[in-house]
């Protein structure tokens, strides 16, 4: 549980403005928390009597469960505050809801919201620590951190590694958080996907762009496949799922041409047979389940580091 | 945690039949619990091993969260048992559901139900303590108590204060609980709103009625604005939201004519710009967020006092 | 909490393949846990730091609450992971969801699923203990066990007792689990209902079939009424609810012709006036609420026994 403590922030809103020292502090803390979930008694008293609120404006059983388990294993009290789309429409504003929650003496608010920037608005108006659990198409920083943690576990380092991110870059908050974190830590990032799904600002972010998956995958240390959000894409941004799978799906044939120690990642949930073939999703080089596992450790680290930050503030 | 203990009831169903001594016992207990939520470790072992069930037949994230946090800070085990309208229709009766819950050895059942009187029916058939968290248009006693607590915090007394409650009195369980409690404690209550939204029994309840907000607000110590439930009103009981805001909305102009130390209250969620203007909702005289904060303390007090009552009974 | 320990299984998927010794081990453990829920402090540290996931693909507030309370009274951390029908359609497969949950270091997964056999599939792919909380029309073993426990409490024995199960046998996982358990323990089982609702394999299972409720009820020690699932039956498998109640409903007239010490059981929720008349559901011979109460004790026993099993495995 010892970290050198260079994480003096109130909130975690994104990886864009974190320093490499701050990111490494989270990864180091996560390493020490990783062991707790492997014990028979998976619980420490670290956050006993602290209140964590999961404020979710989008349904997300997986991410919510990961934060809920992280909080419970730290002995925090956690309450799920789910706002359905319908009640958000007729109900109070995000700001009023957040102020209400804070008035109940929350310590940390974990927020997922369909609007990019919503957690930043929240963070400005509440004294509680705010963790962005995904805002629109903007950032999903705890996912970016758990991906970095997982790569570091396997490669023993981060700087200088080559990462290829494949899929719908435009709409992916996972891609965006990873790109920010990876660029800060000195990884080389290439994105690949249909031209309609790659935003123009990539080169400004120090990211290479390619449309040729077959060529790009031969040179990379990590292949990160993104989920095609079939429920969201109705704009004809790519021709068909079959065509997408043919051009940008990861399968055995493609993998045979990658480095033998390439890491395969995916934030889940997986569309088997679309962006990744079933046999590759389940192969020994696939880290998909390790990512999920490390997600709990990273979120324990975040809750711990931000609660400590909150103490600091309260003492002022 | 010391109270003089004059609260020997099994249930809290409403403020109508509570004595002034009983109400003051709750407020006194709430004062001692208020401090717990301000600690770094917001948790005491008072109700360890007690089972609290939140039985909600209406969606209410705010009130449910307040009770859930109150229970958890007292170390009770709390389970949310939410019955959607659709499943209530095809499922078992309220009585059977309550008996089932009780059979799982619940200690306290917190119930919200769209039918006035439903918690009273429940209280008769279960041995568990029952707390009415809102029944139809009847009572919402924990809201009434937290409002009284909040006024007392600011005025240092309750007896003799003048309170003006503004809005849809007819459909407001918040207004009804406040009126009962305030009358018992010797406050002077005036209600104000469109004639179509003020019930005839007001004078029998010892309450003055006025339709002239501008006149009434000059003489009062507390202005309590009620929420216009825009999702419920389709009967043409008032002309339009704009017209409602003009006649019965609290804004800067109106507030300038009130006493300088007038308290502004609202049970939330607020319809900004309808019953209250945004600047007034957020001004220093507005106690809206303090009400939310005090709600947790009052609910901790209720859970504590009723669990003690339950012990008494079990010992017979 | 002492049991002789003859329960070396990883999972509880059904009663079909449990030995009589295994069933009796669960009932014996349940007896020791029953007392905990009757204490003022209903909580023991047995499963502290263990993670229980309620993975429900069908809405079931009652069964989920029973497992949730059982887990909390054993001090486990419990997370509800509810998958709505709609999100299951567009989301990941059951297998992927289970692997994800397990990656978060779950110890026990309690699963309800509309497809018969789904928990068995899960049990094969995860190392966590799996408890079947109802799969399609197949089994609901914790219900069967709590029914056996309840009968034993009242009759002091199980072997040789005559049980009559009445209703829609074909679609009842409750009936199926009871039949397996009862046959293994040497009870005589007769099923009764409309011919369209009794499956052909009954005789192979060692069960007698009758269509004459009035004749069968005179000779039985236990009458177990099943719920008519009015929301599911639209296939014209029986003429009408009134006709059903006339032929297969339990009422005062019928009960008068049964043994004076006959036990009346029903898994709930009850359709009053359909399969059982209100006065009989509430009469002193009805064990309906005791079944609910014993359900928590049986589920505590299962969580305890399977967590111990999980330890054993982890040590290999």
Q: Does residue A215 carry a pLDDT above 90? A: yes
pLDDT at B128: 97
Question: Please, are residues B277 and B286 in contact by the beta-carbon 8 Å criterion?
Answer: no
Q: Is the pLDDT of residue C1 over 70?
A: no
Could you list the pLDDT tens digit for every one of the 316 residues in chain B? 444 556 889 999 999 999 999 999 999 999 999 999 999 999 999 999 999 999 999 988 999 999 999 999 999 999 999 887 656 655 678 999 999 999 999 999 999 999 999 999 999 999 999 999 999 999 999 999 999 999 999 999 999 999 999 999 999 999 999 999 999 999 999 999 999 999 999 999 999 999 999 999 999 999 999 998 766 655 667 778 889 999 999 999 999 999 999 999 999 999 999 999 999 999 999 999 999 999 999 999 999 999 975 444 443 3
pLDDT of residue C7: 86
Strand arrangement of the beta sheet that strand A263-265 belongs to:
A208-210, A188-192, A162-166, A222-225, A263-265
Residues in chain C within 8 Å Cβ distance of A68: 79
Share of chain C above pLDDT 90, in %: 84
Q: Angle at CA B43, nearest 5°, toward B37 and B47?
A: 115
**C92 to A37: CB separation less than 8 angstroms, yes or no:** no
> Is the pLDDT reported for residue C130 higher than 90?
yes
At residue B310, the pLDDT reads 46
Inform me whether the C-beta atom of residue C262 falls under 8 Å from chain B C-beta atoms: no
What the block records as the tokens of A223 is: 């292949």
What is the structure's pLDDT at C67?
Answer: 98
pLDDT surpasses 90 at C230? no
A109 within 8 A of A57, measured Cβ to Cβ = no
**CA C190 to CA C178: how far, in whole Å?**
11
CB contact under 8 A, B314 and C68: no
Q: How many CB pairs under 8 A join A and C?
A: 69
B32 in contact with chain C, both atoms CB, cutoff 8 A: no
Q: How far apart, in Å, are the Cα atoms of A144 and each of A160, A173, C95, C96?
A: 17, 9, 25, 21
Residues of C in contact with A289 (CB under 8 A): 99-100, 102-103
Q: How many CB atoms lie within 10 A of CB A245?
A: 18
Answer yes or no: do A104 and B296 touch at CB < 8 A.
Answer: yes
From the list B36, B80, B47, the residue with the least C-alpha distance to B61 is B80
Lowest mean pLDDT among A302-316, C7-21, C259-273: A302-316
Number of residue pairs across A and B with CB atoms under 8 Å? 69
Tell the residue number behind the tokens 């001692």, with chain if given.
B32
Hey, are the CB atoms on C79 and A66 less than 8 Å from each other? no
Whether residue B96 and residue C272 make contact (CB cut-off 8 A), yes or no, is yes
pLDDT attached to residue A1: 40
The answer to whether the Cα torsion of C143, C144, C147, C153 is positive or negative is negative
Higher local confidence (pLDDT), B6 or A297: A297
Average pLDDT over residues A177-196: 97
Q: How far apart are the first and last CA of chain B?
A: 24
Binding region of C for carbamoyl phosphate: 62-63, 112, 140, 143, 268-269
Sign of the torsion formed by the C-alpha atoms of C77, B99, C60 and C195:
positive
DSSP SS3 for C116: coil
pLDDT of residue A60: 86
A92 touches chain B (CB under 8 A): yes
Quickly state the pLDDT bin for C51 (edges 50, 70, 90): very high
Contact criterion met (CB below 8 Å) for C173 and C135? yes
Distance from CA of A18 to the nearest CA of B (A): 27
Contacts of A11 (CB under 8 A, 6+ apart): A119, A123, A129, A130, A131, A132, A306
Q: Which position has the higher pLDDT, A217 or A315?
A: A217
Collapsed DSSP state (helix, strand, coil) of residue A225: strand
For B294, the closest chain A residue by CA position comes to A104
* Residue scoring higher pLDDT (A316 or C153): C153
Q: What dihedral angle (degrees, nearest 10) is formed by the CA atoms of C225, C227, C228, C230?
A: 160
Mean pLDDT for all residues in chain C: 92
Quick check: C187 pLDDT over 70? yes
Contact C270 B92 (CB under 8 A): yes
Residue B171 labelled as part of a binding site: no
Which residues 36-55 of A are in CB contact (within 8 Å) with C?
A: 37-43
pLDDT above 80: residue C198: yes
* pTM for the structure as a whole: 0.95
C54 backbone dihedrals φ, ψ, rounded to 5°: -90, 105
Between the alpha carbon of residue B8 and those of residues A115, A143, B15, B182, the distances in Å are: 50, 52, 15, 21
pLDDT average, residue stretch C52-63: 93
Predicted ipTM beyond 0.85: yes
The alpha-carbon radius of gyration of chain A (Å, integer) is 19
Q: Is C88 on the interface with B (CB under 8 A)?
A: no
Alpha-helical (H) ranges within chain A are 20-34, 61-73, 85-90, 94-103, 118-125, 141-155, 173-184, 213-216, 241-248, 252-256, 278-281, 288-315
Rounded CA-CA distance A292/A286 in Å is 12
Q: Which residues of B touch C268 (CB under 8 A)?
A: 92, 96, 100
Q: Indicate the average pLDDT of chain A.
A: 92
Confidence of residue A89 (pLDDT cuts 50, 70, 90): low
Mean pLDDT of C123-146: 97
Show the domains of chain B with their CATH numbers: 20-140+292-315 (3.40.50.1370), 142-288 (3.40.50.1370)
B232 touches chain A (CB under 8 A): no
Confidence (pLDDT) at A263: 98
């Amino acid at each position: 549980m010892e970290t050198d403590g260079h994480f003096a922030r109130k909130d975690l809103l994104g990886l864009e403005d974190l320093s490499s020292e701050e990111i490494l502090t989270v990864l180091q803390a996560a390493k020490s928390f990783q062991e707790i979930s492997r014990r028979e008694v998976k619980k420490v008293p670290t956050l006993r009597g602290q209140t964590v609120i999961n404020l979710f404006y989008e349904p997300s059983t997986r991410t919510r469960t990961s934060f809920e388990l992280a909080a419970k294993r730290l002995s925090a009290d956690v309450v799920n505050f789910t706002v359905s789309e319908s009640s958000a429409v007729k109900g109070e504003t995000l700001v009023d809801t957040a102020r209400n929650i804070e008035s109940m003496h929350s310590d940390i608010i974990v927020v997922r919201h369909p609007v990019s920037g919503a957690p930043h608005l929240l963070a400005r108006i509440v004294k509680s620590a705010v963790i962005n659990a995904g805002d629109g198409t903007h950032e999903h920083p705890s996912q970016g951190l758990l991906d970095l943690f997982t790569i570091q576990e396997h490669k023993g380092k981060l700087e200088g590694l080559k990462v290829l991110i494949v899929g719908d870059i435009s709409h992916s908050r996972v891609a965006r958080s990873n790109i920010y974190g990876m660029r800060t830590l000195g990884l080389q990032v290439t994105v690949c996907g249909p031209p309609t799904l790659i935003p123009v600002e990539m080169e400004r972010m120090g990211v290479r762009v390619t449309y040729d998956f077959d060529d790009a995958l031969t040179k990379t240390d990590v292949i990160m496949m993104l989920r095609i959000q079939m429920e969201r894409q109705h704009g004809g941004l790519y021709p068909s799922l079959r065509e997408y799978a043919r051009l940008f799906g990861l399968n055995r044939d493609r993998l045979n041409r990658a480095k033998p120690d390439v890491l395969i990642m995916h934030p889940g949930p997986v569309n088997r047979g679309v962006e990744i073939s079933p046999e590759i999703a389940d192969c020994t080089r696939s880290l998909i389940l390790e990512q999920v596992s490390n997600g709990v450790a990273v979120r324990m680290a975040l809750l711990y580091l931000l609660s400590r930050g909150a103490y600091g503030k309260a003492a002022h």
